[in-house]
Amino acid sequence: MKKPKIRELKEAIKSLFSKPYTTKFPYEEHKPYPKFRGKPQYNEDECVGCGGCFQVCPSKAIDMIDDLENKKRILIHNPDKCIFCGECERNCITQKGIKLTNQFDISYLKNPDEVKHKVEHNLILCIFCKEIIGTEKHIRYIYKKLGNLAYSQPILITKAIENLNIKTEHEERLIPPIDRQDILKIICPKCRRISFIIDEKKEITKK
Ligand code: SF4
Ligand code: SF4
């Protein structure tokens, strides 16, 4: 048998008189370090429902369900698929919509829903073709961010008009055909293009 080196002997004696590096969890409460990456948690006030976290998540731990009938978008975080990489937090457009907490004890007995966390948002759909435009909060967030520049985008102008409670005489007509006055309504880019083409065609016919 080889004799132990002096350095190894010194380490062995030192470890006999020093505290262990591991904690006594679960027999004692464990406090993670401040930068510990634990269970991500949505902040319902700061999340605008853009779906950015859902798109960047490498392990598909976030579900995004768009319920067109009830005009709702639901984002669900599944801790059992999460690898705690922090990409959702890093790429959140508001920087505060989802944050990694230091919660590490996320085991469950029977129901995985016990540890899931979700947020719900109101969806805005095109009034003609029912295509998803975005969430109400996301559109208002962009409107606020852009300031005066928001007036170059018809959907954002429409939201501003809504804030002022101005009603147009054509507001109640929500059925096709799409017409010129529909340019200033909540419609998707495709329907908006149709309204521009119809408008241009009228001009051409007049000439
Ligand atoms: S605001 Fe942030 S947390 Fe909310 S959906 Fe967008 S990226 Fe996710
Ligand atoms: S921490 Fe990583 S794996 Fe977990 S939800 Fe966020 S992006 Fe997905």
Q: Which residue, of 124, 157, 184, is where some domain finishes?
A: 124
Query: What's the chain's average pLDDT?
Result: 83
Q: Which two tokens stand for residue 108?
A: 């469950």
The per-residue pLDDT for range 13-49, each reduced to its tens digit, is 998 888 888 888 888 888 898 889 999 999 999 999 9
pLDDT range class, residue 175, cuts 50, 70, 90: low
Bigger pLDDT: 48 vs 159: 48
- Judge whether 64 and 75 are in contact, CB under 8 Å: yes
pLDDT at 203: 57
Measured from the CB, is residue 57 less than 6 Å from ligand 1?
A: no
Rg of the chain taking only CA atoms, in angstroms = 27
Ligand nearest to the CA of 83: 2
Q: Which two tokens stand for residue 194?
A: 């149709």
Q: Which two tokens stand for residue 80?
A: 């059992």
- Is residue 162, in this structure, part of any structural domain at all? yes
Q: Which two tokens stand for residue 112?
A: 């995985």
Same domain, 38 and 107: yes
Bigger pLDDT: 179 vs 107: 107
Same domain, 113 and 154: no
pLDDT at 170: 47
Same domain, 118 and 131: no
Q: Measure CA 7 to chain center.
A: 53
Closest residue by Cα to atom 2, ligand 2, is 85
Measured from the CB, is residue 92 less than 6 Å from ligand 1?
A: yes
Locate the DSSP E strands across 53-181. 62-67, 72-77, 98-100, 117-125, 132-135
Same domain, 104 and 141: no
The predicted model scores a pTM of 0.77
30: which residues sit within 8 A by CB, 6+ positions away?
23, 104
pLDDT range class, residue 63, cuts 50, 70, 90: very high
Measured from the CB, is residue 47 less than 6 Å from ligand 1?
A: yes
Same domain, 120 and 49: yes
79: which residues sit within 8 A by CB, 6+ positions away?
39, 61, 106, 115, 116
Same domain, 108 and 85: yes
Mutate to test the pocket of ligand 1, among 41, 45, 46, 50 (most ligand atoms within 8 A of CB): 50
Neighbours of 76 (CB within 10 A): 17
The pLDDT of 138-144, averaged and rounded, is 87
Bigger pLDDT: 186 vs 164: 186
- Is residue 16, in this structure, part of any structural domain at all? no
pLDDT range class, residue 95, cuts 50, 70, 90: very high
How far is it, in rounded angstroms, from Cα 118 to Cα 120? 7
Burial state string for 137-174 with b = 16 or more CB within 10 A and e = fewer than 16 = bbbbbbbeeeeeebeeebbbebbeeeeeeeeeeeeeee
Measured from the CB, is residue 50 less than 6 Å from ligand 1?
A: yes
- Is residue 28, in this structure, part of any structural domain at all? no
Locate the DSSP E strands across 68-143. 72-77, 98-100, 117-125, 132-135
Q: What is the CATH number of the domain that holds 120?
A: 3.30.70.3270
* Least confident piece of the model among 71-85, 107-121, 188-202: 188-202
Range of the domain at 86: 33-124
- Is residue 27, in this structure, part of any structural domain at all? no
How far is it, in rounded angstroms, from Cα 39 to Cα 25? 18
Please count the structural domains in the chain.
2
Ligand 2 atom nearest 78 alpha carbon: 5
Same domain, 104 and 137: no
Closest residue by Cα to atom 6, ligand 2, is 88
Ligand 1 atom nearest 50 alpha carbon: 6
CA angle 97, 101, 106 (to 5 degrees): 115
